[in-house]
Amino acid sequence: MDSTILNRRTLLGSGALMGLGALLAACGQQANNEAAATASAAPSETASATAAAASATATTPTPVITRGYSGQSKAPDGEYRKADGYGPAQNVPKPRNEPAQYPETEEGMQNMMEDWLKSHNYGIQTGDCSYARMYMGKNTQEYKFYDYLEGLYQRGGWVIEGTDGYQQEGAFTFNSDTKEYMLITRHLWTYVIYVEPNGQTTTNKNTADDDDICAFILNFNNGYWKIVNTLSQSDLVNKGILKK
């Protein structure tokens, strides 16, 4: 991944899948309807806010998309809903609060990777990447990707689809010189849409099949596995680990 994370998943192409523009417009209308309903219930508390919003609209030429609810309504507690053009995912199951101790074996590594992936996909769907960061070294591109995700959600944006999967490719190896392990995987994903609060979207689809191999470099210390680096397919080819 390394150089591919920001390229493939964040800011490659502008635009949207067919129909997303209409959904985003509906999202804005939904938010307006909810605001109007609130104003009817408590006009004295909302009049000044409504006036301020109207003033801001008058001076802001770019339309602003207000996050509503995916599926056009608030999901009942415990009911998971994927993100869509109306808003971000709802009731996403939380990952582990902190990394677990696993043995220094391939099975132990795989257990840690499963925990990390749950926290990683939780961050993609919620903007809370604090869980995923605990498994990832600060110098990795993935860690920087979490900065982007958190900023997007803090601005009022969200992510549609974009969750990841990984499939092991080949042997799990150990480098006796660096005392690090390498796990070569295939990155499994379909498409992702990043929705900005100003209505701009960035869409990317996984149409190429020559850049999905990547490697995780891991170490094991005091009973805990950690991802300390990531390598893209081109990195692996340049190092002679993969053939062209």
pLDDT of residue 67: 82
pLDDT of residue 23: 53
Cβ pair 92, 126 in contact under 8 A: yes
pLDDT of residue 86: 94
pLDDT of residue 200: 92
pTM: 0.78
**Residue 83 placed within a domain:** yes
Cβ pair 5, 145 in contact under 8 A: yes
pLDDT of residue 72: 93
Number of domains in the chain: 1
Q: Are strands 165-168 and 224-231 parallel, antiparallel or unpaired?
A: unpaired
pLDDT of residue 174: 97
Cβ pair 159, 195 in contact under 8 A: yes
Q: For the chain (length 244 residues), average pLDDT per consecutive 10?
A: 39 39 52 41 38 41 74 95 96 97 98 98 98 95 95 97 94 96 96 93 87 94 96 93 86
Q: Which phi-psi region, left, alpha or beta, contains residue 170 (left: φ > 0; alpha: ψ -120 to 50)?
A: left
Tell me how far apart the alpha carbons of residues 2 and 231 are, in angstroms, rounded to a whole number: 5
**Residue 243 placed within a domain:** no
Cβ pair 97, 115 in contact under 8 A: no
**Residue 244 placed within a domain:** no
Tell me how far apart the alpha carbons of residues 164 and 121 are, in angstroms, rounded to a whole number: 7
**Residue 223 placed within a domain:** yes
Domain extent for 37: 3-238
User: Beta-carbon neighbour count of residue 167 at 10 Å?
Assistant: 9
pLDDT of residue 65: 72
Give me the half-sphere count of Cα atoms (radius 13 Å) on the Cβ side of residue 92.
Answer: 22
**Residue 13 placed within a domain:** yes
**Residue 26 placed within a domain:** yes
Tokens representing 213 are: 């191999």
Angle between helices 141-154 and 106-126 (to 10 degrees): 30
